[in-house]
């Protein structure tokens, strides 16, 4: 992952977006950057946003693993990471379509809400806390599945629209 990330970032620093459109580059490294905005001006491109997502996932894992015995520290750490991701998603709007940006922002808000709710439940000290946590996890998983399905539908729709658009352009050139 580190090698692929370094390669994509070094290609991004070359200020040549044609590198990212090459089939071999897309095949090898495309999973990191294809869902983010590509603009002709490299400064308006959001290809670099994959670093934020990888850092977010890594920090959540580290916080969860290292603070298992300290519930309050863990909850506050998760709130901070969710808040940082929410601010970055809202500030940069990195995805190609506005629907994808809205869905990811909504998922981030939901995760932030669950983290805040868990923190308040820890302070209130409810005895059947595990039951409440299981219910919240179920809700979160259900919402994330819903968001993933919407993203899949949007991706399929966008790819179908691009194919139709390219076919129309070819027909116009032939006429």
Residue 84 scores a pLDDT above 70: yes
Give whichever of 37-46, 64-73, 151-160 has the largest mean pLDDT: 64-73
Lookup: tokens for 95: 């995805």
- Checking 107-110 for CB contacts under 8 A at 24+ apart, the result is 107/143, 107/144, 107/147, 108/82, 110/140, 110/143
Each residue's pLDDT tens digit, 112-168: 988 888 788 777 766 666 777 787 788 878 888 887 888 888 888 878 877 666 666
Confidence of residue 55 (pLDDT cuts 50, 70, 90): very high
* Percent above pLDDT 90 for the chain: 27
- Residue 38 in contact with residue 47, Cβ under 8 Å? yes
Query: Per-residue pLDDT averaged across 43-58, rounded?
Result: 91
Residue 53 vs residue 12, higher pLDDT? 53
Mean pLDDT of 25-40: 83
Per-residue pLDDT at 78: 93
Report whether pLDDT(12) > 90. no
Count of alpha carbons within 13 angstroms of residue 57, beta-carbon side? 6
Claim: this prediction has a pTM higher than 0.75 = no
Three-state SS at 11:
helix
Nearest residue to 81 via CA among 55, 104, 117, 42: 55
Looking at per-residue confidence, does 70 or 172 come out higher?
70
- Picking from 162, 118, 161, the residue whose alpha carbon sits closest to that of residue 139 is 118
Across the chain, mean pLDDT equals 84
């Amino acid at each position: 992952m580190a090698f692929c990330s370094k390669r994509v970032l070094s290609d991004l620093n070359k200020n040549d977006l044609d590198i990212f459109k090459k089939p071999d580059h897309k095949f090898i490294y495309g999973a990191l950057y294809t869902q983010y905005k590509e603009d002709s001006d490299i400064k308006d491109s959001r290809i670099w946003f994959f670093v934020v997502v990888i850092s977010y996932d890594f920090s959540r894992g580290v916080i969860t693993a290292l603070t298992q015995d300290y519930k309050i520290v863990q909850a506050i750490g998760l709130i901070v990471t969710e808040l940082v991701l929410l601010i970055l998603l809202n500030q940069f709007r990195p995805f190609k379509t506005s629907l994808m940006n809205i869905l990811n922002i909504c998922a981030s808000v939901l995760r932030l809400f669950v983290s805040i709710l868990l923190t308040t439940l820890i302070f209130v000290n409810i005895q059947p806390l595990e039951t409440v946590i299981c219910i919240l996890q179920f809700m979160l998983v259900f919402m994330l599945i819903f968001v993933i399905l919407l993203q899949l539908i949007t991706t399929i729709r966008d790819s179908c629209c691009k194919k139709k658009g390219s076919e129309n352009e070819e027909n116009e050139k032939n006429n």
